[in-house]
Structure 1
Amino acid sequence: MRRRDFIVSTTGTAAGAVPIVKRRRSVGMTDVARAAAGMNELVEADDRQGGHTSLETAALEGRAKVLELQQRNASERVRRALYTLAAEYTTIAAWSCIDLRDLDTAQMHLHESTTYAGLSQDPPTGMRVWVNMAMLAYQRKNGSEQLAAAQAAHASRAARRDPFFGSMGRVRLALAHSMLGDPRAAKRALGAAQESLGKADDDERPRWTGFYGAAELNHLAAIILNHNGESAEAEAMAHRALAKIPAEFQRNRALATCQLALAQLRQGEPEQATTTAGTVFTIMDGAPLPGRMRTLIGDFHRDLFRLAPSTTYARDWADRMRDEWSRA
């Protein structure tokens, strides 16, 4: 066989053996918008009933789809937007675990979301991760870590650029200072958070920020003041919060009601406080109580039976709580 014929023969055979690879289409902002719509549905579900296992699962499934899109051809703008969504889906999963008080799993998800947020180079997304880090440390009762995360949120690009995010960072500082037993620093930071929110305009922001505004700031102020031992002021802030929290924020209304009940109890009004605490179950309307809310209700229950153990309303409360716990 001549050399030329051999080369033609072998190269033709090799070419025929190579599989034809189907080229996957490129990803654009339409795909990003579709993925974002799914994420916003999860945020709305969290607003209604708080963290639950199915929410975490759905968030991780959403993240997996976003990361699959990352494997396709995309512009730098699209790629960053996809990393933003990966961070936000992962943060929803983390937040759900915080609400459930599955804190070790929440920590794992937050470490992952930190990576995606960094790759996205999106300031609000980075801010969200730091806020959740602070909230996780608060649930762990780790005051120094909570303060460090709050300081990172306060110093973030988002907080420096936008008074809305600046307020969000400052109130986290206030919560950290109150946990660390520094009520003066807590009140200073709280005042700064209120001032910053007053300067914020109505610019369009990511859907996840919908929970934060004057009502939520008053709710957080009630938590801070309860920590500081200023129960009358905490009660006033809780009433202000409940007057403005939208009805669809079911979980947040129930949490603010818990703070109101605790403030009333600590002012020596156990019967009124028990009536208030009972409305938490009505607000949740049969939905399972997230772990974070159960902890607050447990705190109330313990303090109630320390103050008024033999009263009829305390026994009735115990019966109702037992029924609600078993239903969940």
Structure 2
Amino acid sequence: MAVSGAVPNLAFRRLRGQHSPAEFAATVRRAAREIGEQVACDARYIGRVEAGEIRCPNYAYERVFLHMFPGLSLADLGFSAREAVRGRRPAVPAGAPPAPAITTRNDEESDVLRRAFMTSGTATVAAVSLGLGGTAVAIPAPRGAHRIGEAEVRAVEDAVRQIRLLDDRHGAEGLYKAAAQPLRAAYALLDAGTTARRSTEDRLHAGAGELAISVGWLAHDSGRFDDARSHYAEALATARVAGDPALEAHAFCNTSFLARDAGRYREAVRAAQAGLRAAQPLASARLLSLLSLREAGAWAGLGDRSACEQALGRAHGHFAKGQSDGDPEWMSFFGEPELEALEAHCWSALGDWGRAARHAHRAAVLQNPHFARNLALYRAQLASNLAHAGRRDEASAEARRVVDSLGDVQSSRIRRILTETSQVLATIR
């Protein structure tokens, strides 16, 4: 469905040349892998760009496009300046309450991201501030005999992408409560059961399940473990109903992570192993690597060094096979930095603080600054490991560096690590 008032991007269309949209999308994905990015580019995305629906790409796509066409700017590619796009207010249907005023922060993505979600069969719209960014997306409630189609499913999928993008940049705490509303809207669409075709229904199930996991992660990272557990269980149930092994593997992956953080290590082992079974038919060695790391972390929590080392070996083996087109879109965060960070956590759980510090340092050095929350987390973990290793001055310096770099990042996990590090440092004479 075309966006009203959209201006076709003829410059981007010329750059595609004789390639079909699908062929060009494959070229974009390959270029992304060359620079360590992962984008879920497909023919539909290319079509939206060329139709002018995407006035400015997100930061991951921007880096990929500039890599593909060196010497060209976003303007040369037919895109609008980010500053011109991000402050745009969403249209509000007649009879709806006006959206609250846009506020700003000092980050380059500093305008409040607006989301409009239809919450009933009437024209009522609730404006939701999820964080920072620009364009409005509407998830309409089904009405009468109206069938759910491409527009509704795309809205759910876009909501998932935006939540993940904002979490990467700013952490979970400012997003969690607002993100619960689009989740309710997505499941309302599922409950309506009026999709036009089976493929649309499958995408809607996958989108709603991924949205449940994303909202669950926001709860998880902000310390709301019971809420996170409920959202992950909802995603798992959706996966089982839809027969979606990719969604099931993702739900088990996050469930294992949560159980580890909550100290339920046996449950973490079982969830990681269940995720590995679900992921077997999928063509993603990276997914198997991450699930093996989840299992390794759980074994480390139980103090089983041998089982932990075996799981780490499997994780490295899978990781060495590289990326593939079968890697899920949500795994864009999982590269060598995250591999190093998760291994660091294993060694810290086993009390090998020097080894943990080496891996945490490598994670911080390798991390792309785009993932601001993860970079701050890796540095906080490094400070903690250095403190436990008795290296007071290095730990203090690293902790100060984390505090100075937080900016708009809001994560109770990072604050908790810094508090614990401070307590450890206070015991070192």
Deviation string, structure 1 residues 126-174 (Cα, Å, up to 9, x no partner):
1111111111111211111111111111222357642111101100111
User: What secondary structure sits across from 1:252 in the alignment?
Assistant: helix
Aligned to 1:297: 418
Paired residues in the alignment total: 285
Which of 246, 262, 266 is matched with 1:124 structurally?
246
Which residue of the partner structure matches residue 93 of structure 1? 215
2:318 is the counterpart of 1:196: yes
What is the rounded CA distance, in whole Å, between the counterparts of 1:242 and 1:291 in structure 2? 19
Q: Residues 285 and 321 of structure 2 are in contact (CA less than 8 Å); yes or no, is this contact kept in structure 1?
A: yes
Q: 1:73/1:265 Cα in 2 relative to 1: closer, same or farther (>3 Å)? A: closer
Q: Which residue of 1 aligns with 2:189?
A: 69
1:59 paired with 2:176, answer: no
User: Partner letter of residue 253 of structure 1?
Assistant: L
Alignment of 1:147 with 2:269, yes or no, is yes
Q: Which amino acid aligns with 1:268?
A: G
AA aligned to 1:67 is: Y
Tell me which of the two structures has the higher relative contact order, counting C-alpha pairs closer than 8 angstroms and 6 or more residues apart: 1
How far does residue 120 in structure 1 lie from its aligned partner after superposition? Answer: 3.0
Q: For structure 1, which segment, 152-161 or 291-300, has the greater mean C-alpha deviation from structure 2 after superposition?
A: 152-161
Separation in 1, partners of 2:285, 2:260: 23
Tell me, which stretches of 5 or more residues in structure 1 are unaligned? 1-21, 309-328
CA spacing shift, 1:23–1:103, aligned 2, 3 Å: closer
Deviation at 1:213, TM superposition (A): 1.4
Cα pair distance change 1:286/1:32, threshold 3 Å: closer
Distance (whole Å) between structure 2 residues aligned to residue 266 and residue 29 of structure 1: 53
**Cα distance between partner residues in 1 of 2:297 and 2:361:** 19
Aligned to 2:168: 47
1:260 to 373, 382, 385: 382
Q: CA 1:307 to 1:195, structure 2 compared with 1: closer, same or farther past 3 Å?
A: same
C-alpha distance in structure 2 between counterparts of 1:161 and 1:115, whole Å = 23
Supply the AA of the counterpart residue of 1:275. Answer: A
Q: 1:113 to 1:81 in 2, by over 3 A?
A: same
Distance, in Å, in 2 between the alignment partners of 1:164 and 1:229 is: 27
Please tell me whether the aligned partners of residues 216 and 227 of structure 2 are also in contact (alpha carbons under 8 angstroms).
yes
Residue 188 of structure 2 aligns to which amino acid in structure 1?
Answer: E
The answer to whether structure 1 residue 32 and structure 2 residue 153 are counterparts is yes
Q: CA deviation at 1:245?
A: 1.4
Instruction: Classify 1:29/1:158 alpha carbon distance in 2 versus 1 (closer, same or farther; 3 Å).
Output: farther
The answer (yes or no) to whether the contact 2:337–2:362 under 8 Å persists in 1 is: yes
Match of 2:361, as an amino acid? Answer: H
CA distance in 2, matches of 1:131, 1:166: 10
Which residue among 225, 241, 254 is the counterpart of 2:347?
225
CA shift at 1:260, angstroms? 1.1
Contact 1:80 1:119 (C-alpha < 8 Å) held by counterparts? no
For residue 187 of structure 2, what is the amino acid of its counterpart? L
Q: Is the 8 A contact 2:283 2:326 kept in 1?
A: no
1:154 counterpart SS class: helix
Equivalent in the alignment of 2:364: 242
- What's the CA shift for 1:303? 0.9
Report the equivalent of 1:321.
none
Q: Which amino acid aligns with 1:77?
A: S
Distance 1:111 1:307 in 2: 42
In structure 1, what residue type is equivalent to 2:176?
E
Aligned to 1:208: 330
User: For 1:141-180, what aligned pairs fall within 5 Å after superposition?
Assistant: 141-158=263-280, 161-180=283-302
How much identity, in percent, do the aligned residues show? Answer: 26
TM-score (normalizing by structure 2): 0.63
Aligned mate of 1:115, from 232, 237, 245: 237
- Which 5+ residue runs of structure 2 have no aligned equivalent? 1-142
Higher percent of residues as helix:
1
| Cα 1:57/1:177, change in 2 over 3 Å | same
Larger Rg: 1
Q: Letter of the 1:228 partner, please give it.
A: L
2:64 is aligned to: none
**Gap change, CA 1:188 and 1:226, over 3 Å in 2:** same
Query: Is residue 153–residue 159 contact of structure 1 (8 Å, CA) maintained in 2?
Result: no
